[in-house]
Structure 1
């Protein structure tokens, strides 16, 4: 309860800080506009070219201040999702872009034609964009992931994408999502690092993640687990179902609402196939699968033990008596000889 309260307080404080930054930036822009407008009213009384210089000085002073405020605002929003080196790279890219725009505004205020500069920058941008299309795609996707937040560091997710094909599982398991499952370890502007359940570290390009179907297990408090197994026909299903259902309802890993279901899904000449569906509060299905299959193993082992220790049938008794009688007759013949 206290953790939720502290988390809520942190979010409120962050929201307030962001709001203050936005209000401050708007106030500075309004102030700059007011000053420039006031100076323009008296520009006729100033020496020629003085207004352009004053305008450029105001743009330099307040432009740098606005850039710093926007940078701090950006850091406040994303610092929880990025490591220090990734955050430093983002700040560098932002500063390059922001100061380039500021210099264009200053040159324009001084009467310098910036058309050639813009044309050159546009040409270089096109060349650079064509040469690094994949990198830019990852970069833009990284920003989209950071702001859309389909997942965060520590979440366990499954990625299903056509770019990385997987073979579907066959019997004995049910059909499963052909995806990669793991825990998010890091998110940067180019790659997302995932530790797979197998233990391997996977770096997924962000543009692939943007095209993928993502299941985030951290966004739900329970999940469905489906297990299928085979039982011999000598095991009575009605009795097995009743006892197994009572067992499941005593387990912490099994949700009581909705109730687990146990049903026959297929038959063969000597056995039948059972499917168990149950909800669990765990994001992992393996503990529930282990719980179910362990119980089934005990039932099968008990049945086999009963079969081994079972008294011989009537036919076996008759055969045994016949064999004993034949042995006695042979012994009598040998005695007469």
Structure 2
């Protein structure tokens, strides 16, 4: 669809409607000259003509705007997301059209706006969370930040511990994640706007998950690293899992922080691997401490 041709079409329609409005006003005045008793109603007739022309013209304007939006914006989104956004756009456009028609009829919109201010504030507050979820869901789906089938780690101060699992559904209000524990959780999309760090676990040939372990610094970090690496290698060799990369990342006050880069193929195997790594570091720490 060529948007320029649609704009030209709209201009032609508006010009035709303007001509029709002028003709109708002229005809109304001609009728009044023959029937003077109708003169006191001419003002209302003029308002009715203007409102009708505005309504018809507004309908064509909205139709063309929706066509342009559908092609250049909504056509690139998923069907469910596009449908919801289209609904909100329609509500907004037709609400504006109704206000314009009322104005053409001579209705005092200022008084109506003041009278509905309290109700508008109440409705706005009630809808704030829903609209925030809808906006977030739209941004997440349209930008392809998160989509069904993605294996992810979601970190946020809102829920504390990272959420690790496979994305099963990205909806308008909620996103569903099947965690490594097997349960499905629904996260409000509003949590994604500036509050969540997404980490996709896909590597070149496998899934990759960086895992940090904190150990008391009252034993040498090098010895803990060496022992833990050997224990992990022994444990994982029995279950035929690729050996992770193990690093001494940093010292933070009275603790040593190690990073383990885990490579795995299936999400449901990650819990078992984490269990092995935790046990290996725990054993390495106590073995090193008992050597003192």
Question: TM-score per shorter chain, which class?
Answer: 0.5 to 0.7
> Is the 8 Å Cα contact of residues 173 and 188 (structure 2) preserved in structure 1?
yes
Aligned residue number for residue 118 of structure 1: 113
User: Per-residue displacement from partner, 1:183-221 (whole Å, max 9, x unpaired)?
Assistant: 222233322222223221111111112133332527864
Tell me the equivalent position of 2:156: 161
Question: What CA distance in whole angstroms lies between the structure 1 residues aligned with 2:248 and 2:87?
Answer: 62
Q: Which has the larger radius of gyration?
A: 1
Q: CA deviation at 1:283?
A: 8.7
Q: 2:175 aligns with which of 160, 170, 192?
A: 192
CA distance in 1, matches of 2:108, 2:17: 21
- After superposition, the Cα gap between the structure-2 partners of 1:189 and 1:197, relative to the gap in structure 1 and judged at 3 Å, is same
Unaligned stretches of 5+ residues in structure 1: 1-19, 167-178, 241-250, 255-259, 266-273, 294-337
* TM-score, normalised relative to structure 1: 0.50
Match of 2:196 among 207, 213, 216: 213
Counterpart residue number, 1:152: 147
Does the 8 A contact of 2:146 with 2:170 survive in 1?
no
Looking at structure 2, the residues matched to 281 and 32 of structure 1 have their Cα atoms a distance apart, in angstroms, of: 63
CA-atom RMSD, angstroms?
4.8
1:129 maps to 2:129: no
Decide which of 47, 55, 77 is 2:28's aligned counterpart.
47
Which residue of 2 is the match for residue 105 of structure 1? 100
* 8 A Cα contact 1:81 1:153, kept in partner: no
Deviation at residue 77 of structure 1 after TM alignment: 3.9
Q: Contact 1:81–1:146 at 8 Å: present in 2 too?
A: no
Structure 1 residues 201, 130: CA separation in 2 closer, same or farther (over 3 Å shift)?
same
Aligned residues, how many?
Answer: 230
The answer to which structure, 1 or 2, has the higher relative contact order (CA under 8 A, 6+ apart) is 2
1:201 to 160, 181, 184: 184
Question: CA offsets, 1:127-175, max 9 Å, x none?
Answer: 2123444334334333443444422233222211101112xxxxxxxxx
| 2:47 is the alignment partner of 1:34 | no
Q: 2: CA distance between counterparts of 1:116 and 1:264?
A: 69
Q: For 2:248 and 2:140, how far apart are their aligned partners in 1? A: 44
Q: CA deviation at 1:119?
A: 3.0
1:63 Cα shift?
3.1
Which residue is equivalent to 1:78?
Answer: 77
Counterpart-to-counterpart distance in 2, 1:263 and 1:140? 40
User: Residues 28 and 192 of structure 1: is their aligned pair in 2 closer, same or farther, counting only changes over 3 Å?
Assistant: farther
Which aligned pairs between 1:1-337 and structure 2 lie closer than 5 A? 20=1, 22-23=3-4, 26-38=7-19, 45-47=26-28, 52-68=47-63, 70-71=65-66, 73=70, 76-80=75-79, 82=81, 87=83, 91-166=86-161, 179-217=162-200, 221=204
In structure 2, what is the Cα distance between the partners aligned to 1:58 and 1:156? 55
Offset, 1:103: 1.2
Is the alpha carbon distance of 1:264 and 1:152 closer, same or farther for their aligned partners in structure 2, counting shifts above 3 Å? closer
Q: Distance in 2 between matches of 1:157 and 1:263?
A: 22
Offset of residue 47 of structure 1:
2.8
Q: Which runs of 5+ in 2 are unaligned?
A: 30-42, 214-223, 234-239, 250-257, 277-292
Which deviations, in whole Å up to 9, do the C-alpha atoms of 1:54-104 show, x marking residues without a partner? Answer: 44334433433444555561653434454xxx94x6555444333222111
- Superposition deviation, residue 109 in structure 1: 2.3
